[in-house]
Every structure is written in structure tokens, then in C-alpha cells.
Structure 1
Amino acid sequence: MNGAVPGHALTLERLTKRYGGFTAVVDASLTVEQGQFLTLLGPSGSGKTTILMMIAGFVAPSEGRILLDGRDITVLPPEKREFGMVFQGYALFPHMTVAENIAFPLRVRGLARADRDARVRATLDLVQLTQFAERRPTQLSGGQQQRVALARALVFDPALLLLDEPLSALDKKLRAELQEELKTLHRRIGRTFVNVTHDQEEAMSLSDRVAILNHGKLVQMGGPVELYERPRTRFVADFLGKSNMISARVAEARQGGAVLTAGGTRLVQAMDGARAGEAVLLSLRPERITVLTAGETAENVVDGRIASAAFLGAGHSVTVETADLGRLRVTIPTWQASVAPEEGVPLRLGWSADAAAPVADDEDA
């Protein structure tokens, strides 16, 4: 691996895939810029794997186009696309050594033995497996097997690297370690990566951009921070971590904001285009809520009583029963909790006008 091949840009134009009367992907359009790490994220059945298989060439779209650097590759067979792929189960050859597994794509392409050996050595070094070159896959840990699969997909300098839930078979601790390794590898080699996962933390940790899918539709695409802080729909807010949903109504529209009412509670919310009388749904993350001490105040203040509390190590997850907003989940960092929260204890909660995000109740909006 010499890093000479730059990343390539990928564009999907109105991709649709139907299987008889069932539509797996509906009118999906997106662009992956050169050298970006994009993750297709969604629950089971959302269409993310179908899109990856269409990009790879294993599944033909019913409608739409796939472009690589502006060139239409929609009908190009998989072997002509020169994409590297890492499958969920790694798909390593058990009778071959690590070095032989990595060399396999080069043998298929007819590369000379000396060039083949040189590339294998460089790629083994890239994934830090040089000392395991002569071992067989069964003699490796799950994390090491995953690195071999990555090396085999990268050894021939692919135009794109496609990853089909590559970390799903690993335990939580190892998965977190390999996420960081994969992110570092992406930065080092500069290739364009397209990843599929249903794991929200993995998507947020690894990706430059995330495309969120549901029921075959692309519902929102953006950077991890943007998607988490400003989801457009209830589905996106709920799918990316925990969120409190607050139903309110605009009592007064202001420049860049509004005064809302929820039952007898008055709320101040930063938002554009508010109209008096309209219904508003807010997504409020648990960590954006502060427990107010005596004498403290905030733009929004709500009184409640602890209904339940759980200690999670770094913090306490507390559910607070309120009169007008129902139950609110609040995250209290451990270092801020002078005593462990207990059921029945009254709390005063506060948050700023820009802490919550207005969202559409309809996921297709």
C-alpha cells in the first residue's frame, strides 16, 4: 500500500429497488465526496444493506443510477468496479495463511510474484499483522480476522472500500478499539469508505457523514454532530440516542424564536418561522437538561419528582415526573451528583432556549 490512489467520489441518483410487490429502497439520492467516510445507518429492514449491494454491483437497481467520479457504473459487473469489500463474517479462506488470504485478490489479477509479495508485506504492516503472516484464520482472534479481511480488501488499491457491518461480530470493548483503528486507517490511506451498520455509536464515532434510512427511505444525511443536535424528525431523534419528546403549542412568535405552552407550563424556544397557534414537537436530549440548585434559574424551568434512577458509571440516568411535560429523562454526570438520586426526591430542571430541536412528527417529512 503506497497511498498513491486517491479516494473517489460516489453519487447515487434516485436509486430504487423492488422485489415483486415489495420496495426495499425508495428514490435514494446521495453523494460521497472523495476520501469521505460515509455510514449508512438504520434499523433492520431499512434498506441500507440493499444500497450497499447495489453499490457493489451484486444487486441491480430497479431505477436510478450509480456514478463513480461522474461515470455511470450502474450496469458494470462487480469485478469491473474494483471495489474492496469487507463482509460481516469476514469470508476468509480457512485453508490459507494470512499472507495467502491477503494475496488472493492479487493472484486473481495476475500480478507478478515479486510485486504481489511486496504489496502483501506493505499491507500486513498497515494493519499491524506482520508477525501473523503464516498463521491460519482459525489461529487468530476475531479482531485479528477483521484486520485480515480489511487487508485483503485494501491490497489491490480499490477505488472504494465497502464495509458490511464489519464490527458486529466483536464484543463491545474490542469493537470500540477497532473503531478507533479503522478511523485511523481511513485517515492514513485517504480512500473513500462506505460503511453499513445498525449501531448508532459506531456510526457517530467513525463517520464524516451519516445517511439515516428508515423503511427504504433516506430520511436525513449530515455530519454526526449535526444529526444528533438538530434531527429533523422524531425518528432520527429517537434513533440517534435518547431524547425527550415535548408536545407544545406556539403562544407567541418572536424574531428567531417563540413562546410555547405545554399545559400550564411556559417554554421559550429558539426556532425560525414560528406561527401563533401551531403545534410544535421538540426533541430535548437528557444531557441538555440541568438540575438547578436553590437560587439557580434558566430560560426554561420545570419542577418534578424523581420516578426512577439508574447509575451508569459516568452518570446517573434519572426519570423525572412532571405535571405538564410528562416524564423527562435527565442525565446527571457522576461528578455533579453530590448524592445518588433517589426515587421521590423533588427536582427543579432547567434548560436553555436553544437546547431542544423542533422536529417533524412524520418521519417522512
Structure 2
Amino acid sequence: MAGAESAGHALELRGLSKRYGGFTAVDAVSLRVERGQFLTLLGPSGSGKTTILMMIAGFVAPGEGAVLLDGRDITALPPERRDFGMVFQGYALFPHMTVAENVAFPLRVRRLGRAAREEKVRAALDLVQLSGFADRRPSQLSGGQQQRVALARALVFDPDLLLLDEPLSALDRKLRAELQEELKALHRRIGRTFVSVTHDQEEALSLSDQVAILNHGRLVQLGPPEALYERPRTRFVAGFLGHSNFLRGTVREVAAAGSVVQAGGTRLLQRDEPGPPGATVLLSLRPEKIALLAEGEGAENAVAGSIAAWAYLGAGYSLSVATCDLGVLHVALPAWRAPIAPREGLPVRLGWSAEAAVPVLEDADAA
């Protein structure tokens, strides 16, 4: 198989759109994937992510826009001439073929000689750690092993690009987490450009160099996972990528030390400048950035409340705390040596730093 130094190809989408009658599935999406990057298209059902993947693969023709590979327009190129590998949600293995025969299938279609074909199949199975499974049939494999066979088949012919359509969705949670690590390590080893589709936020954060968040066919925000999580641009992004509390208030003061936002009877210190005095602002505050304050302990922002509901999640507690001015705040509390034993009605004080919350746009404003 080709080395990592020559494996990556740059992909660019320019104004890609697709309509079905009066329904717009994809609306003027433009983005670029650099050589060797792992891009994930993330969004809820009906957001357009799978349609975009199918347009990249060539199975769906765009109504408008272009698909470019290394600057070359391939929009009109049929799928079989794009030389892209693809892993489908259900793996699509041939049940009557052995593992080796499944992996060799793309090479047989390309009329590669037997000796070269066998060498490439061995290398591909080694790559996905299935070298001892060549003579088995798909029915004799676990879900995780079938996924590896599908990966080997998609990589065996040294494709220009690897496309993955919900590749881990059929696996249980534990196996999915293990395969995420393996897929990420595989991407690093071979250096190819990967484009994946998922609706699983944790999977997108774990695997990707870049995440494109889609909603109603539009690209809402594109960036590295850390940037999207820590600095969401809109309410939709903050709420879809993880969990968030939303605090609405009015800017009262703007100073070098930060802005003061009035939310009901509570004054919040905000390090980012969310807007000019008098502006109505919306702040996103992640549950894990809120701390429980001990008696007498201060914080840049503090509010009193009582536990309305709680749940034990193993590594931590999920608390819903009712406050007078800010509504119900959701708090992620580590369970190890937790400062309280949660119970409904328990009075608590919450605190967070002025950097913890970030201003976000209402989704109508972002459009």
C-alpha cells in the first residue's frame, strides 16, 4: 500500500446544493479538507450530511456547485472513475465470499494480477489486524471484525479518498469506543484523507481534525473539535455539540476587566465582550464549567439554588439546579469525592469564572 507521504489528497466543495422538488437537502455548502485530514460531517437527521457524502462519492449529482480533488473539478466524473474507497453503514460485505475474497474484490474489478492481488490483500488485512481471518466468512465474524474487513476492502486499492458513512453506528457503545481509537490510529498510520458522516457527537470529537456541523442543509460552523466545543458560534452548535446552559441578559457595563451582564436580579461578570451597553446577549455555559461552592467560598459569578433533580452516571452526577433568576442550570459534578450527597431540595451555591461562558448567536441571526 502507498506510503503516508503520498497518500493524502485535498478535497474542496464549492457552493454545493441539492434540491428534491421544493425540498432543499443541501444549501450552498462550501468547505475544504486539507491533505491527510480527517473531516467529519456532523448533524441531526435530515441535515444534509449523507447527501453531501453521496455527492462527493459521485452517487448523487449536485444541482449546483462543484467537487474538486487537488484543485481538479471532478463533479461530472462517475463514481467508478473517482477512485474513492467507501465504508457503508451496514459494511455491505458479500456473505458467500471469504474475508480475503471480499477484500480482493476491488482489485479483481481493476483486473490486477493474482500475485499482486494476494500481496495487497495480505497487507490490507495486516493493516486492520485481521491477518489470521482470511479464510473466514462474514457470518463467522463479530461486528467489529466485519467493520475491519470493510475498511480493508476500502483501502486495498490505495484510494485517493476514504469515505465513511456512519461506520460505527451498528456497534454497541463499548465496541464503538474501541473502534474509534483503532480508526484514529489507522488514519494516522496511512495518512489518507478521510471524510466521515455521523450523528454521534462524541465520535466526531474523538476522531476528527475538522468537524463540519450541518443543520437544515446548511453549514453552520466548521473547525477543529476543540474550537467548536469551546467557542460555539450559535445556540444550535452549543446545544448540539455536547450540553449547554443558555443565559440571557442585557449588557450593563463594558470595562477592561470584562463586561457586566444583567440577568434578572443577577449580575454576571463576562470576560468576553458580548456587545455594547444595552445589547441583549445570549451566553452558553457548559455544565462541567460550573462548580459547587463551599460555605463562604467566593467566585466571579455565583448564584444560589436548590437541586430539582439528579442522576448518578458512574463517573459523575448530573444535577438540575433551580435558581431564581437563571432558571434551571445543569451541572456536571465528578462523583469521586463529591462535596455533597445529592438529594432533591438540597440548597446549593453555584459558581463559575468570567471566562467560562461564551456569547453565541441566536440561530436566526447566524443564518
TM over 0.5: same fold?
yes
> Is structure 2 residue 175 aligned with structure 1 residue 183?
no
> Is structure 2 residue 290 aligned with structure 1 residue 296?
no
Q: 1:336 to 1:297 in 2, by over 3 A?
A: farther
Amino acid at match of 1:283: S
Whole-angstrom distance in 2 between the partners of 1:226 and 1:214: 18
Tell me the residue number matched to 1:199: 200
Amino acid at match of 2:103: I
CA offsets, 1:209-229, max 9 Å, x none?
Answer: 100000000000111111111
Q: 1:364 to 1:216 in 2, by over 3 A?
A: farther
Whole-angstrom distance in 1 between the partners of 2:21 and 2:125: 44
Tell me the residue number matched to 1:130: 131
Secondary structure in structure 2 of the residue aligned to 1:335: coil
Whole-angstrom distance in 2 between the partners of 1:338 and 1:57: 56
Whole-angstrom distance in 2 between the partners of 1:273 and 1:337: 33
Tell me the residue number matched to 1:3: 3
Whole-angstrom distance in 2 between the partners of 1:143 and 1:256: 52
Tell me the residue number matched to 2:40: 39
CA offsets, 1:144-196, max 9 Å, x none?
Answer: 00000000000000000000001000000000000000000000000000000
> Is structure 2 residue 317 aligned with structure 1 residue 316?
yes
CA offsets, 1:220-279, max 9 Å, x none?
Answer: 011111111111111111101111011111011223731010111000112236211110
Unaligned runs of 5+ in 2: none
Q: 1:68 to 1:256 in 2, by over 3 A?
A: farther
Tell me the residue number matched to 1:251: 252
Whole-angstrom distance in 1 between the partners of 2:53 and 2:140: 30
Secondary structure in structure 2 of the residue aligned to 1:274: coil
**How far apart are residue 338 of structure 1 and its match?**
3.7
**How far apart are residue 335 of structure 1 and its match?**
1.8
Whole-angstrom distance in 2 between the partners of 1:363 and 1:33: 30
Tell me the residue number matched to 2:111: 110
Secondary structure in structure 1 of the residue aligned to 2:185: helix
Matches within 5 A, 1:11-160: 11-160=12-161
User: Which is worse superposed, 273-282 or 74-83?
Assistant: 273-282
Whole-angstrom distance in 2 between the partners of 1:68 and 1:364: 33
Amino acid at match of 2:276: R
Q: 1:363 to 1:82 in 2, by over 3 A?
A: farther
**How far apart are residue 340 of structure 1 and its match?**
2.0
Q: Which runs of 4+ in 1 moved over 3 A?
A: none
Tell me the residue number matched to 2:220: 219
**How far apart are residue 284 of structure 1 and its match?**
0.4
Amino acid at match of 1:46: S
Whole-angstrom distance in 1 between the partners of 2:120 and 2:70: 26
Secondary structure in structure 2 of the residue aligned to 1:43: coil
Whole-angstrom distance in 1 between the partners of 2:257 and 2:197: 37
Contact conserved, 1:303 with 1:347, CA < 8 A, in 2?
yes
Amino acid at match of 1:356: A
Amino acid at match of 1:133: A
Whole-angstrom distance in 2 between the partners of 1:257 and 1:280: 14
Contact conserved, 2:274 with 2:359, CA < 8 A, in 1?
no
Whole-angstrom distance in 2 between the partners of 1:270 and 1:338: 28
Q: Give the RMSD, CA atoms, in angstroms.
A: 1.1
Amino acid at match of 1:333: P
Tell me the residue number matched to 1:305: 306
Q: 1:256 to 1:150 in 2, by over 3 A?
A: farther
Tell me the residue number matched to 1:265: 266
Contact conserved, 2:254 with 2:273, CA < 8 A, in 1?
no
Unaligned runs of 5+ in 1: none
Whole-angstrom distance in 1 between the partners of 2:252 and 2:27: 38
Percent identical pairs in the alignment equals 73
Secondary structure in structure 1 of the residue aligned to 2:336: helix
TM-score by length of 2: 0.98
> Is structure 2 residue 152 aligned with structure 1 residue 165?
no
Contact conserved, 2:41 with 2:196, CA < 8 A, in 1?
yes
Amino acid at match of 2:41: L
Aligned length: 365
Contact conserved, 1:286 with 1:330, CA < 8 A, in 2?
yes
Q: 1:256 to 1:93 in 2, by over 3 A?
A: farther
Whole-angstrom distance in 2 between the partners of 1:364 and 1:151: 44
Whole-angstrom distance in 2 between the partners of 1:328 and 1:122: 53
CA offsets, 1:303-345, max 9 Å, x none?
Answer: 1111111111101111111010000001110124144211111
Whole-angstrom distance in 2 between the partners of 1:216 and 1:188: 33
Whole-angstrom distance in 2 between the partners of 1:122 and 1:332: 47
